Structure 1
Amino acid sequence: MKLMFASDIHGSLPATERVLSLFDQSDARWLVILGDVLNHGPRNALPEGYAPARVAEKLNPYASRIIAVRGNCDSEVDQMLLQFPITAPWQQALLETCRLFLTHGHLFGPANPPPLAAGDVLVYGHTHTPVAEKRGEIYHFNPGSVSIPKGGYPASYGMLVDNSLRVIALNDQQVIAQVAINP
């Protein structure tokens, strides 16, 4: 199965358009959005091309192919603009060999992980910094942010292809981080 991950869009229209273009080219079955879809939040500067209503218009045609979780900047008002659910604090995706626990990262994350079994993957955003690594018996995967990257990293997204999780730079497609999920 092929999955694409985007996190921390924060209402950036150019980032949304780039993500959707890459999604169309990727042959991924699902676009997993890890929260903070429309609003920039009070601690962030406005991202380039801030246009939350337009972002919703761009994402809505993909509603049947989006799995999303609520971020700390998402609200019930945002849900009124979006045609796919964003109010769940977490989701799970079951693969043949492991479980992906999908969350934004502010409720469950590396400092407060949910109960996971050996080989499961904690997939989160929130920090705006990419991670693809195994910590103990659990994999950690953060695709970074498509609009407001931090830590000197470029804007990025994630892909799951076969058993490989990759964080990829949004503009030049360079792999920033990757980890193989071992069955």
Structure 2
Amino acid sequence: MKIAFISDIHSNIHALSAVMEEIEKENVDEIYCCGDIVGYNAFPGECIELVDKYVKASVRGNHDHATINGDTIWFNEYGVAGINYCRKVLSDEKIKFLESLPTHLHFNREGIKFYIVHGSPRNELFEYIFPSTSEETFEEFSISVDANVVVLGHTHIPMKRKIGETLFLNPGSVGQPRDGNPKASFVIFDCKNKEAVFRRVNYNIEEAKRAIIDRGLPLFLAERLDLGI
């Protein structure tokens, strides 16, 4: 069984469509999302529709959460602009979809226990767990979470860390990568051989940038897509 994990789509329908096309070629059995379907970019509604159609389940990210309740106290000006835009353009039906998202998921596939969360097991929406995060922190999570594979989002940076018997993954970001590589990122986990393979996909960044500018979102949100920051 193959499982694709995606994260941090951030309303980038051009990137999400390219990723979904690539996943379709890989004979993947299920797709899971680690949150932040919306925010920053120009097409939150379209991204929700695609996730609802093709993704087995998604957890809630901090931008999804803020789009629901309007609380932007923890966000910088670019995050606030994206959230306010989402709250303006999304229908009540789309907001209800975001409200339905849990803050974490547990499931078992072929004897492998998975745990999915946007931030971390101790702060599900807001804590950043980077590849450079201390081994002690990962050890704490490996003890506190009953899972063989823990999949996180939020940082927009791909990650693979093995601590004891627990594998920690971050798929990276579909819609706003921050590792210096502008290509959309995701990861496929093969349950048979217990291997995780990261993939990067080109998409039409120019169209995504144009849409951001046309809708009056901050110019920096368009410029950063070229840079992968």
- TM bin, normalised by shorter chain, reads 0.7 to 0.9
SS at match of 1:74: helix
Give the conservation status (yes or no) of the 8 Å contact 1:69–1:89.
yes
**1:15 Cα deviation after fit:** 1.0
User: Could you tell me which amino acid in structure 1 is paired with residue 198 of structure 2?
Assistant: V
CA distance in 2, matches of 1:11, 1:127: 16
Decide whether aligned partners of structure 1 residues 87 and 164 sit closer, same or farther in structure 2, where only a CA change above 3 A counts.
same
Partner AA of 2:114 in structure 1: L
Percent identity for Structure 1 against Structure 2 = 26
Go from structure 1 to structure 2 and tell me whether the alpha carbon gap of 1:85 and 1:2 turns closer, same or farther (over 3 Å shift): farther
CA deviation string 1:50-106 (max 9, x = no partner): 2112222333332xx421100011134778317687520100121334311111125
Code of the aligned partner of 2:52 = N
Matched, 1:167 2:195: no
Q: Tell whether the 8 Å contact from 2:186 to 2:199 is kept in structure 1 after alignment.
A: yes
1:6-21, aligned counterparts within 5 Å? Answer: 6-21=6-21
How far is 1:155 from its partner?
Answer: 2.8
Alpha-carbon distance between aligned partners in 2 of 1:83 and 1:30, rounded to the nearest angstrom = 19
**CA distance in structure 1 between the partners assigned to 2:108 and 2:98 by the alignment:** 20
Specify the alignment match of 2:81 in structure 1.
none
Q: CA RMSD in A?
A: 2.7
Pair 86,170 (structure 1): closer, same or farther in 2 beyond 3 Å: farther
C-alpha distance in 2 between matches for 1:29 and 1:137: 24
Q: Is 1:54–2:46 an aligned residue pair?
A: yes
Rounded to whole Å, the distance in 2 between the matches of 1:54 and 1:121 is 30
Task: Compare the two structures and name the one with the higher strand fraction.
Answer: 1
Partner of 1:25: 25
2:60–2:98 contact (8 Å) kept in structure 1: no
Q: Which has the higher contact order (CA 8 A, sep 6+)?
A: 2
Q: Measure, in 2, the Cα distance between the counterparts of 1:170 and 1:90.
A: 27
Count of residues paired in the alignment = 161
Match of 2:79 in 1: none
Which residue does the alignment assign to 2:226? none
Contact 2:162/2:168 (<8 A) preserved: yes
Aligned in 2, Cα 1:85/1:159: closer, same or farther, shift over 3 Å?
A: farther
TM-score scaled by length of structure 2:
0.61
Structure 2: runs of 5 or more not aligned: 69-86, 130-136, 204-229
Aligned partner of 2:151 in structure 1 is 123
Distance in 1 separating the partners of 2:48 and 2:62: 17
| Aligned mates of 2:118, 2:63 — CA distance in 1 | 10
Matched, 1:80 2:80: no
The runs of 5 or more residues in structure 1 that have no matched partner are 41-45, 173-183
Match of residue 106, structure 2, among 86, 92, 96: 92
Q: 2:60 aligns with which of 53, 58, 70?
A: 70
Q: Are the aligned partners of 2:172 and 2:186 in contact in 1 as well (CA < 8 Å)?
A: yes
In the alignment, the residues of structure 1 paired with residue 170 and residue 101 of structure 2 have an alpha-carbon distance, to the nearest angstrom, of: 20
Amino acid paired to 1:17: S
